[in-house]
Chains A and B, each alone.
Chain A
């Protein structure tokens, strides 16, 4: 494993598999236990450095670190020196002086974790940077797929929605490809980046054509504001062409699953009855996020001298 987890490309197939296997072992070791705590990272300090509000991701990382007995410091940009104009570099040097073993960073600027990694000695885990990547989300998604379908190799994953602005999509395309899955992206052409043709994924515009050949459908959050920038004409048209409703869900193969990284826009990209169906893995994804992040923290920080 590399020292940092900044993007899906930091994991080769062996590394990615090791993370998923480790998460599975941790899940199994903790299953049914009253004390869901391990002493592994006793004495290590993990800083959650969140420049963007993301309660669910922060809590997931916090729980993961605490279950491994690390000391956790939540450093939110709001109300801290950061909001008073302290630069990312100064913040990095502060964390360094405090002896942070790991820094979990969420930032609205693509590449901010890469910058941070060049300034600190500890391991940097990217918890989402701008429209770039969110590698632990991809890991938990891969874990969830493997848990439900028993494999990743050859699994047909269709990712639907605002690929252009989605760090989840970028990380998933990279990681799932590394793990042998076949990824198809479906979106209105306005929400696909120029250059998507160089990605290891097929691209289509017609959701109905792809669904019968999908083992996994991953719906991305679409912000209704996008229509103000003419990415699509209206929420209604988007929903009609790219939303997953019960009719479309019925076109999926029998054991296909429906995923969503959350938070969902019910009625926009996903209908309530789909989100709450047995195919939906949305709640599992949240639970799997904790064990996957425990695995990442263990593998990155456990051996650091």
Chain B
């Protein structure tokens, strides 16, 4: 095993120090460290953060390996600075049994670029009718703790209540895709002035907010943990703030694209901007940034959703919703939160690593950079700026909404348990 001596990095943006990674752990943090045999990584000017943790990734394997595989998605994640990603359950077959979650987990281990943590489906086949064998998935080698029907809402309130209750037995959490399906039949984009003019069926904010309001009340009632996926509206942030003030055990994530883009993107009718929940208004973007800054929103979750070309180069209504996110997530957070001064580097580490790891109950991730801790960390050059070139992405798909957009921040190196998965901005395997 290679040992690494990182010279002059700034942990959480603080003063430059040297960091020695040895045998998968942080061995020492201090000035002018020496280590014979260790590979030196010059990191002057780079910010060191704990390895990023994504609560919301679609790796598409099994079923749509033409769009992404566990391996290609893992590589994209490592290049984005992640050391752990939660792989969503809406694969084909659905990850609703111990067998499927173990298969995904094993594929992640084989790729060895990030820890791939499978998410289990809440209901069989994501059909929203009866609970999947949640306990079996929890007890499997994959040790599933996050359960989600993402892509579909667990809309039946009785079923949602039971799911919330049931996962308490193994400290699990239900991650809800908050979308009242009867209010979003045929929905294509945020319902508002632009949908009215573009003639695209509207996806009302109330369809998300109604479910979140219902679910926080249910979570409070049964004393369970609830996680809300991809919060997209100002109203949702208000409901979450209210729920947290009441002591409800609710956490929430926001996607990079909802922090940056608005429904104005739909004017091009280019389905690369079609996503679920849809891009919202400027006011929503502002509320989401504020919510992430004050901690009402706990985490950034990419909702990395690769799609094959034929599923995106089509009419808007025919296209599948979803955007790539892993490789640009940190850059978008720097652009929208760090550069405007709304989040410092410690805040970035908290929202992109510490809290998501806690929500997912990942003991080895989201730890501070300190002696004895697992050596999961990322080195970022905050001064670098580059335009996004979809052709250069590691993902197998090309549906990046940031194509051609100049974004700040470059992941220079990522370490997973002391092994470099990314060096000099390139994946090591």
Contact = CB atoms under 8 A, between A and B. Distances in A.
* Complex: A in contact with B (CB within 8 Å): yes
A287 interface: no
B197 A195 contact: yes
Contact of B314 (A87, A131, A167): A87
A194 B191 contact: yes
Contact of A107 (B191, B198, B310, B315): B315
A110 interface: yes
Interface in B188-231: 188, 191-202, 204
B197 A199 contact: yes
Interface string B256-269: 00000000000011
Contact of B199 (A88, A133, A198): A133
Interface stretch (A25-33, A111-119, A213-221, A252-260): A111-119
Residue among B197, B199, B202, B314 having the largest count of chain A Cβ atoms under 10 Å: B199
B191 A132 contact: no
A130 interface: yes
A87 B192 CA distance: 29
B318 interface: yes
Residue among B196, B268, B315 having the largest count of chain A Cβ atoms under 10 Å: B315
Given A88-B315, A110-B316, A115-B315, A194 B199 contact: no
Given A87-B310, A109-B316, A111-B316, A170 B199 contact: yes
Contacts of A110: 188, 198-200, 269, 316-317
Instruction: Say whether chain B's binding surface is mostly helix, strand, loop, or mixed.
Output: loop
A133 B198 CA distance: 8
Interface string A115-146: 10010000000000111110000000000000
Interface band, chain B: 20 to 34
Nearest to A198: B193
Contacts of A112: 269, 315-316
A114 B197 contact: no
B313 interface: yes
A87 B318 CA distance: 10
Residue among A109, A114, A129 having the largest count of chain B Cβ atoms under 10 Å: A109
A89 interface: yes
B216 to A, nearest CB: 25
Contacts of B194: 195
A89 B314 contact: yes
A147 to B, nearest CB: 28
Given A87-B314, A109-B316, A114-B269, A194 B196 contact: yes
Nearest to B271: A115
Contacts of B198: 110-111, 132
Interface in A188-203: 193-199
A193 B202 contact: yes
A87 B313 contact: yes
Interface string B145-188: 00000000000000000000000000000000000000000001
Given A110-B269, A111-B200, A114-B268, A195 B195 contact: yes
Given A110-B198, A132-B199, A167-B199, A194 B192 contact: yes
Contacts of A132: 198-200
Interface string A204-216: 0000000000000
A198 B204 contact: no
A194 B315 contact: no
B269 A115 contact: yes
Please provide the 6 A-B residue pairs with the shortest distance between their CB atoms, ordered closest to farther.
A111-B269, A132-B199, A195-B196, A109-B315, A193-B196, A195-B193
25 contacts: A87-B310, A87-B313, A88-B315, A109-B316, A110-B198, A110-B199, A110-B316, A111-B199, A111-B269, A111-B315, A115-B269, A115-B316, A118-B270, A130-B199, A130-B200, A130-B317, A131-B200, A132-B198, A167-B199, A193-B195, A194-B195, A194-B196, A194-B204, A195-B195, A195-B197
Given A110-B317, A115-B316, A167-B199, 9 more contacts: A87-B310, A110-B199, A111-B198, A112-B315, A115-B270, A131-B199, A194-B191, A195-B202, A196-B196
Interface of A: 87-89, 107-112, 114-115, 118, 129-133, 167, 170, 193-199
